[in-house]
Structure 1
Amino acid sequence: MTFTPVTLSDIEAARARIAGKVVHTPVVPSRSLTEIAGVPVHLKLEHRQITGSFKLRGASNAVASLSAAEKQSGVVAASTGNHGRGLSFAAKREGVRAVICMSRLVPENKVSEIRRLGAEVKIIGNSQDDAQQEVDRLVAEEGLVMVPPFDHPAVAAGQGTIGIEILEDVPDAETILVQLSGGGLAAGIAAAAKALKPDIKVIGISMERGAAMKASLDAGRPVLVEELPTLADSLGGGIGLDNQLTFQMCRELLDDVVLLTEAEIAAGIVHAYAEEREIVEGAGAVGIAALLASKVKPEGPTVVLLSGGNIDMALHRKIVCGEGKSA
């Protein structure tokens, strides 16, 4: 299969396709992080998206791109929670059946919300790879259309609309800190941002516990990693050994990849709440955490993406009360 990257024209088409279906989320200055980093820092509040994360963008673009016959068949996906929520919402809006397959590592608050949106939920195994096997079965046996959480051009193009919004709102941005998991978000944002401003830096942020894309980039090819419990649960899972899109786009477009400890992620969650008055999940806080830990030292105006706010509130209370430092 010939590699065809997602382009700015694809992302602009996605933006037109999902107009009115997603929110152009605000970008706000962060006084506290500006003082810490020594450069202007802005927060892109994507956790205020309709379903609580950026995933609605890619899911909405993918569903809107389906043919009438494909919509009739229904959609299926493996998810660590947020993609499933976004796809469930997008499918319900279009009157399309949705089946979401998840591992036992997905927090219950995300599972229950997907059920509330009317999707069929299947809990399979202890990893994203286990859940993907059930997706493959449903595609083969029931004819459902797979909408992957990241390695799909329509999904990556939908996520890339964030990159356009960032440079519209902060045209002097020199660095973007973006969550890195399967790579759909990072690849999409980097494709948009670098097409509009070639010298901008896009840095992927992930956790030390099971960072599949970082391991794959280091190896020069997609590799398997053990999926481990982490505060940044939305960043868990592999990138697929047969990855067709996001691995190569991340390899070509990302300027750096930074990994965080669990304690650093917890500190990011606490800072988001205490200083910014924003409640974000672990994955949503990794950009903040990278600045706090001095693992990223930007030289100019920086935009930090807060990607999701679908945190288990019991966990949030535990962390902000200082009990999560050893998580």
Structure 2
Amino acid sequence: MAAEAGAPTPADIYRARARIAGRVARTPLLSSPRLARACGADSVSLKLEMLQPSGAFKLRGATHALLALAPETRARGVVTASTGNHGRALAWAARAEGVACTVCLSALVPANKVAAVRELGAEVVLAGDDQDAAVAEALRLAETRGLGYIPPFDHPDVIAGQGTLGLELLEDAPDLDTLLVPLSGGGLLAGVALAVKAVKPDVHVVGISPQRGAAMIESLRAGRPVEVAEETTLADSLGGGIGLDNRYSFALVRALADTVVQVSEAEIAAAMRELHRHERLVTEGAAAVGAALLARGEVPGGGRRAVVLVTGNNVDMDRFTRLICERD
């Protein structure tokens, strides 16, 4: 399956960076000698996207897609479906621009993420038992209310916005040879890999999903988008399907991901604990999957200089506190 006409290009990512300048944070890299020792690499750096104002990388794509809309569309308001972080990001960006925002969330979205979206002034619509149901409701509202629909991942402007993260990596970690990316709908991996491989085509890109409900990985195995039952997981931000009518992210992930891997719930929990104990980071499960993979003791592809995307910190703090107090 080739990417459709209109798929994002590296040039689109550079344009996206100019468009969102001043509206998102340039996040730092944190060296982790502990993880480097664990996997035998020369260096491991953590890209701290959890320091975005909305608490996750999603602010990049949501802001860019919102600003790319025609002014008359923005004036009517926007709607999306989300597993939590995209909805929060769009609500943040919409509030900053004075745009009305509606976010459709399924019953699987944690209560803290639902509350965070509401606190940003967005209208929350609870729709169905999984992400597919939330998407269906968002599309219905877009049609009936005339709202601009901004998907969580499968859209050129969203992918280009996420790709701005890759441009920062090229500047701040020019010697990287391995990039570890949480993988769900694929918008993040597609954008970041598109930016990085345009300059450094030999960088080994690793997509990492939980063992539960890994829709993109199952679709890659099948050679086409397939439905996968959404399951409860610590990495709740990586839940949901990729859409049977996926137009962009599936083809880009298939072309750009060199390795895809799944990690267990126990590995995710252990990585969250270790990132807190040693790097003093509060991470949600989805943000810890890269560290979970390196804890197995090697870098996929044999790389020596790895960068791990630590994508968000929107975790229920009561649950997080209980988790980090548990013994491995």
CA distance in 1, matches of 2:120, 2:305: 39
Which of 299, 305, 322 is equivalent to 1:301?
305
CA distance in 1, matches of 2:312, 2:243: 23
The match for 1:288 is 291
CA distance in 1, matches of 2:279, 2:90: 29
CA distance in 1, matches of 2:298, 2:108: 28
The match for 2:63 is 60
CA distance in 2, matches of 1:241, 1:93: 33
Q: CA deviation at 1:293?
A: 2.3
The match for 1:28 is 30
TM-score by length of 2: 0.97
Change (3 A) 1:224 1:296: farther
The match for 1:144 is 147
Q: How many residue pairs align between the two structures?
A: 324
CA distance in 1, matches of 2:234, 2:297: 19
Q: What is the DSSP-based 3-state SS (H/G/I as helix, E as strand, rest coil) of the residue aligned with 1:304?
A: strand
Q: CA deviation at 1:296?
A: 4.0
CA offsets per residue over residues 23-78 of structure 1, 9 Å max, x none?
Answer: 00001211111111221100000001111000000000001111111111111000
Q: CA deviation at 1:260?
A: 0.6
Residue pairs, 1:203-222, within 5 angstroms: 203-222=206-225
Residue pairs, 1:100-179, within 5 angstroms: 100-179=103-182
Q: CA deviation at 1:305?
A: 0.6
Greater Cα offset, 29-38 or 3-12: 3-12
CA distance in 1, matches of 2:219, 2:299: 21
Q: What is the DSSP-based 3-state SS (H/G/I as helix, E as strand, rest coil) of the residue aligned with 1:263?
A: helix
The match for 2:20 is 18
1:226 and 2:233 matched = no
Query: Is the Cα–Cα contact under 8 Å of residues 179 and 286 in structure 1 kept in the other structure?
Result: yes
Which of 301, 318, 321 is equivalent to 1:317?
321
CA distance in 2, matches of 1:294, 1:204: 17
CA distance in 1, matches of 2:44, 2:222: 33
**Identity over aligned residues, as a percent?**
53
Specify the code of the residue in structure 1 equivalent to 2:217.
Answer: K
The match for 2:73 is 70
CA distance in 2, matches of 1:294, 1:311: 27
Specify the code of the residue in structure 2 equivalent to 1:77.
Answer: T
Q: What is the DSSP-based 3-state SS (H/G/I as helix, E as strand, rest coil) of the residue aligned with 1:165?
A: helix
CA distance in 2, matches of 1:20, 1:173: 26
Specify the code of the residue in structure 1 equivalent to 2:14.
Answer: E
Q: What is the DSSP-based 3-state SS (H/G/I as helix, E as strand, rest coil) of the residue aligned with 1:202?
A: strand
CA offsets per residue over residues 282-315 of structure 1, 9 Å max, x none?
Answer: 0000000011124744421000010000011111
Q: What is the DSSP-based 3-state SS (H/G/I as helix, E as strand, rest coil) of the residue aligned with 1:87?
A: helix
Q: What is the DSSP-based 3-state SS (H/G/I as helix, E as strand, rest coil) of the residue aligned with 2:193?
A: helix
Unaligned stretches of 5+ residues in structure 1: none
Residue pairs, 1:206-285, within 5 angstroms: 206-285=209-288
CA distance in 2, matches of 1:137, 1:94: 24
Query: Is the Cα–Cα contact under 8 Å of residues 25 and 48 in structure 1 kept in the other structure?
Result: yes
TM-score by length of 1: 0.97
Query: CA RMSD, aligned part only?
Result: 1.2
CA distance in 1, matches of 2:296, 2:203: 22
Q: What is the DSSP-based 3-state SS (H/G/I as helix, E as strand, rest coil) of the residue aligned with 1:244?
A: coil
Q: CA deviation at 1:6?
A: 1.7
CA distance in 2, matches of 1:124, 1:205: 28
Q: What is the DSSP-based 3-state SS (H/G/I as helix, E as strand, rest coil) of the residue aligned with 1:286?
A: helix
Specify the code of the residue in structure 2 equivalent to 1:242.
Answer: D
Specify the code of the residue in structure 2 equivalent to 1:113.
Answer: A
